[in-house]
Chains A and B, each alone.
Chain A
Amino acid sequence: KQEVTQIPAALSVPEGENLVLNCSFTDSAIYNLQWFRQDPGKGLTSLLLIQSSQREQTSGRLNASLDKSSGRSTLYIAASQPGDSATYLCAVNSGAGSYQLTFGKGTKLSVIP
């Protein structure tokens, strides 16, 4: 059974800092991994999707890496802004004909002005 762990559970940084969020998964046989953002009381916004054959994806100030063999992914946020404050969720698609996602519990990020 796939399990996804995110560390730390919460993180507080001053504005302008670069930061890294971590995600690990127990079964390396995945099809892809997604990073989402969730604002309080809201749904999820997909940030980046990395296919199992890829090692990283970039979108603006965000860079996600994937090391499938070690079961790890990182989300790097450059030059953090107060608007980046949210909960960041990592989810893996283990495939096998099914597309549901297995989520971590998230990292709650606070960027202090």
Chain B
Amino acid sequence: EAGVTQSPTHLIKTRGQQATLRCSPISGHTSVYWYQQALGLGLQFLLWYDEGEERNRGNFPPRFSGRQFPNYSSELNVNALELEDSALYLCASSLGSLPVGAKNIQYFGAGTRLSVL
């Protein structure tokens, strides 16, 4: 069974440009999460989508946005790129909203490394 896949593997952009990152979840998973792993900052939660809707977002500016398609794949868009947006962007998927206390294991993709020059 295929795991979480992300594309592209690497992306090089210049300041001010827009970047689009893509994620395909594990078959049967309806929730997709985006995380940013910048050097020295650790993994930071960006966005959570479930059943096509944005359920929660982390402490990031509005130029970070995304969407989830009917097949549950997802896009992360970063507008007006800044140098500090350079990071590894990880996507994870899980089963959808579960009862409180149920296991909700997130499975991660290999990430997209975004470099902003």
Interface residues of A (CB under 8 A from B): 31-32, 34, 36, 41-46, 49, 51-53, 89, 91, 93, 95, 98-106
B19: Cβ under 8 A from any A Cβ: no
- Listed by A's residue number, 12 A-B pairs whose Cβ atoms lie within 8 Å are A31-B101, A34-B105, A34-B106, A43-B90, A44-B108, A45-B108, A46-B107, A89-B43, A95-B100, A100-B33, A101-B45, A102-B45
- CB distance B94 to A42 under 8 Å? no
- CB distance A99 to B111 under 8 Å? no
- Max chain B C-beta neighbours (<10 A), residue from A53, A93, A103: A103
Q: How far is the CB of A36 from chain B (nearest CB, A)?
A: 8
A34 proximity list for chain B (CB < 8 A): 105-106
- CB distance A42 to B111 under 8 Å? yes
Q: From residue 24 to 66 of chain B, which have CB atoms closer than 8 A to chain A?
A: 31, 33, 35, 41-45, 48, 55-56, 58
B97 proximity list for chain A (CB < 8 A): 99
- CB distance A42 to B103 under 8 Å? no
Alpha-carbon separation in the docked complex, A48 to B4 (Å): 18
- CB distance A49 to B56 under 8 Å? no
Q: How far is the CB of A104 from chain B (nearest CB, A)?
A: 7
Name which residue of chain B comes closest to A1, CB basis.
B59
Q: How far is the CB of A24 from chain B (nearest CB, A)?
A: 14
- CB distance A43 to B109 under 8 Å? yes
- Given known contacts A43-B108, A98-B48, A105-B41, what 4 new A-B pairs fall within 8 Å (CB)? A45-B108, A49-B105, A99-B97, A103-B43
